[in-house]
Structure 1
Amino acid sequence: MPNQIRFEVLTFETTPEVVPHVDSRPLTELIDAYEVGAKMDVAGDAYAGLVPAHFDFGPMEEHYLGAGMGPRVPLLGCTCGEWGCWPLMATVTAVGDTVTWDEFEQPHRTDRDYTGFGPFTFSRTDYDEALAVLMIDLADWA
């Protein structure tokens, strides 16, 4: 059974912040729990959503399909609002009727092992619908 996806738009200072939710749980909580459980240094509450105003990700619906930056994209950034400060990267693969997030990494800690985290596989129809809602939510900020 595929995972469920939703993109929540929160407020970072005075601009939108995008937090993916997998199976009704924020990705920030999922990765924090994984890192704390794996006893990783600098684990827990280190991640936040992406702040599109702080970096030109291009159209967010393309970013979350692995376009623009390549298949490995940041899904989360740092609590300071800059994605490059402390990103959670993943490979996003959209093939046929599925979208998969896997090969997670924290590029500032290359010795970390994320093989037990994910993969998350979504129905392409549900994923596209979640992206359409995200784009409407982001347009409300304009």
Structure 2
Amino acid sequence: MGSNEIRFDYQQHGERDVFEIVPRIDATPLTELIDKFETDFGMKPAGNAYGGLIPQFFRFGPIEDHFHGRSTGAMGPKTPVLGCECGEWGCWPLMTSITVTAELVTWDSFEQPHRKTRDYTAFGPFRFDRHQYDDALRTLSAAIGSAAANTNEEDC
């Protein structure tokens, strides 16, 4: 069983003066992967619907906890990994189950909670080597800390 590679881009949001987190799986942004999936399966609306998570808009808690599936219980059993292209994750989120073991992190059971009839069974699962995943999270956490220090923002 092969594993996927993950990186987290921490980049300027296209239309706002904030930073967003966009997971990159096997070098492709998750926003592109989900757009292609939804478009290929004839889902509407689809295409350019998703954007990264914006820590400044929602206190996710420690970013490592969030991407280990241990974020606030108010979001239910699944974790948002993308938000709406408008910048608000609650508007149009891509949710997934995140399972963490000593060797592996798995993202599966994706859903769009505002379109319960959509079938994402064929999207994923994505399996990441735990050490590579945690390295990517450390890099993301450092980028967030650095950006916060440069703009006098609180760490998320």
Alpha-carbon displacement from aligned partner over 1:74-128 (angstroms, at most 9, x marks no partner): 0000011100000000000001210000000000000000000000000000000
What is the CA deviation profile of residues 44-92 of structure 1, one whole-angstrom value per residue up to 9, with x for unaligned ones? 1100000011011101111000002354100000011100000000000
The structure having more radius of gyration, on CA atoms, is 2
Q: TM-score, normalised by structure 2?
A: 0.89
2:30 maps to amino acid: L
Q: Distance in 1 between matches of 2:48 and 2:82?
A: 12
Give the Cα separation in 2 of the matches to 1:29 and 1:68: 24
1:1-142 matched pairs, under 5 angstroms: 1-12=2-13, 13-70=16-73, 71-142=77-148
Q: Which runs of 4+ in 1 moved over 6 A?
A: none
Cα distance in 2 for partners of 1:76, 1:53 equals 14
TM-align CA RMSD: 0.9
Structure 1, unmatched stretches of 5+, are none
Q: Distance in 2 between matches of 1:77 and 1:69?
A: 16
**What's the TM-score once normalised by structure 1's chain length?**
0.97
Percent of matched pairs sharing the same residue: 52
Q: How many residues align?
A: 142
Going by fraction, where is strand more abundant, 1 or 2?
1
CA–CA distance in 1 between the matches of 2:18 and 2:84? Answer: 15
Quick one: which amino acid aligns to residue 3 of structure 1?
Answer: N
State the alpha-carbon separation in 2 of the partners of residues 129 and 40 from structure 1.
34
